[in-house]
Amino acid sequence: MQNNRATLAIAFSAALLLGATAASAQDQRPAYSRTYVEAPSTHSAAPANKADGVRFGIRAGLNVADWSGDAVQGVQQLLDLTDGAVTRQQRPGFHAGAYVSLPLGPRFTLEPGVQYAEKGVVVTGKLPLEQLDFLNAKATATARMGYIDVPVLLKGYLTRGLYLYAGPQASYLATGKVRVAAGALGFTAFKQDFDVRRYFRSIDFGVTGGAGYQFANGLGLSAGYDYGLSSLDDSNRFDAQNRVVKASLNYTF
């Protein structure tokens, strides 16, 4: 009788242990974001639907763009000689587009996308005469470059929601203009846009990378950096590349 009771106790304890282990394994299933959903299990011989984890999303945010390269360094040296009369500044802008997330496993996602992005640089000059500072007379040239970016990102999740991303990016120059404005006393006396697209390379290749966090409700935040590899000048008269710092808000459906 005691042997039977011991056998029943051992069997009951083993059943509890197996049940707890199964529940714990179920709770630890990877669920890092809405960009990855496990395919449903099936008892038939047919494979599970591999498209169940595919997600689409939209993204928008702010850019802070600049140019870098030998030509820009030469211009900067010239600007330094003006003792602040001419300055180079980063150009603020925006980006907006869409993407598709393709799961590669519980921790990795391939994310190709397309977006419009504003890039360029700003150069401002003022009269180098202290006697005329009260006029606040200055002229500004803004390179207003509009690109269609096509990034292909590999995202790796470090924890639930937190990820790093990196990948190549091809950019098509959709618009290329330089806006020249001049004025004094807070009034603009001259403003005109010049089309300079034909002087710039139409395709720009680069790499991009950054980090982000994807919430379970579909919203996400990210910050990244675009590093251009191609020279912007179509005739190779000067060497300059795009540099962009960006912050984004996205939603995955």
Q: Which two tokens stand for residue 132?
A: 């005329």
Residue 237 and residue 142 share a domain: yes
Residue 143 and residue 60 share a domain: yes
Q: Which of 241, 247, 253 is nearest to 67 (CA)?
A: 241
How much is the pLDDT for 79? 55
Please report whether residue 196 resides in a domain: yes
Query: Which residues of the chain fall short of a pLDDT of 70?
Result: 1-52, 70-86, 127-136
Q: Which of 151, 155, 153 is nearest to 107 (CA)?
A: 155
Range of the structural domain that residue 248 is part of: 51-252
Angle at 165 between CA 163 and CA 171, to 5 degrees: 150
Please report whether residue 37 resides in a domain: no
Tell me the per-residue pLDDT of 12-53, one tens digit each, with 9 for 90 and over.
344 433 344 444 444 444 434 455 444 333 333 333 333 458
Please report whether residue 143 resides in a domain: yes
Residue 137 and residue 60 share a domain: yes
How much is the pLDDT for 184? 75
Residue 143 and residue 109 share a domain: yes
Please report whether residue 15 resides in a domain: yes
Q: What region, left, alpha or beta, does residue 101 occupy, with left being phi > 0 and alpha being psi -120 to 50 degrees?
A: beta
Residue 220 and residue 98 share a domain: yes
Residue 6 and residue 88 share a domain: no
Residue 81 and residue 25 share a domain: no
Q: How many domains does the chain have?
A: 2
Instruction: Give the percent of the chain with pLDDT over 90.
Output: 50
In the beta sheet, which residues pair with residue 212? 163, 222
Q: What is the DSSP string of 79-144?
A: HHHTTTSEEEEEEEEEEEEEEEEEE-SSSEEEEEEEEEEEEEEEEEEE---GGGGGGT-EEEEEEE
List C-alpha distances in Å: 101 to 38, 65, 128, 197, 206: 14, 26, 53, 33, 21
Please report whether residue 45 resides in a domain: no
Sorted by sequence, the CB contacts under 8 Å of residue 226 that are 6+ apart come out as 149, 169, 206, 207, 208, 242, 243, 244, 246
Please report whether residue 38 resides in a domain: no
Please report whether residue 95 resides in a domain: yes
How much is the pLDDT for 75? 56
Residue 184 and residue 103 share a domain: yes
Residue 23 and residue 57 share a domain: no
Residue 148 and residue 23 share a domain: no
The CATH number of residue 71's host domain is 2.40.160.20
Residue 57 and residue 14 share a domain: no
How much is the pLDDT for 183? 77
Residue 56 and residue 14 share a domain: no
Angle at 62 between CA 141 and CA 183, to 5 degrees: 25
Please report whether residue 41 resides in a domain: no
